[in-house]
Amino acid sequence: MAKTEDSLALPTFDKPVKVLIVCAPYYRSVANNLMAGAKATLEGADAAYEVVEVPGALEVPPAIRIAFRQSNFDGFVALGCVIRGETTHYDTVCNDSSRALTLLGLEGANIGNGILTVENIAQAEVRADPKAMNKGGGAAAAALHLIALERRWGESKQGIGFRNLDSYQVADDDGSSIA
């Protein structure tokens, strides 16, 4: 992944990490570069990954939702490219795919969003290029950081927060135990 001033170091993991890359390869050369960047970043963190392809950007969130509900992936990388055309379809695809990924994230899916939304193919090529902007690598890094946060805060909850009512006795007005 190309290093910038605000890039975070990749997290390290003490247990294996498994990530699903979901890619819409409508613009194949752009998709290949996005995947190359994502794979290199995941390999740099010793994360295992699988790749599935779907027809377009609108199919990426449902594919992630299926995997999130029915598999054991720790995180997901969403990849694709939407280039503005002559109709409002561009706005629908950009907004709906992004919104769906955000909603999945709020449900607990660890997703790095690497779906490019650009004006032309030249912008897409620069953003997808692993030696330039490397948005595929950035999306993979985002997923890894969310996985690390989930593991950090998802550990044992014992001793934190409210106690279970079954774990202590409550006295009635006369001093006898009611729980």
CB 90 within 8 A of CB 84: yes
Q: Give the position of tokens 């190359």.
A: 36
DSSP labels for 116-179?
EEESSHHHHHHHH-TTTT-HHHHHHHHHHHHHHHHHHHSS--TTSSSPPGGGS--B-TTS-B--
Signed CA dihedral, 134, 142, 23, 114: sign only: negative
Per annotation, catalytic residue among 89, 102, 121, 154: 89
Write the single-letter amino acid at 26: Y
Decide if 145 is catalytic. Answer: no
Question: Distance (Å, rounded) from C-alpha 160 to C-alpha 158?
Answer: 6
Cite the active site residues. 89
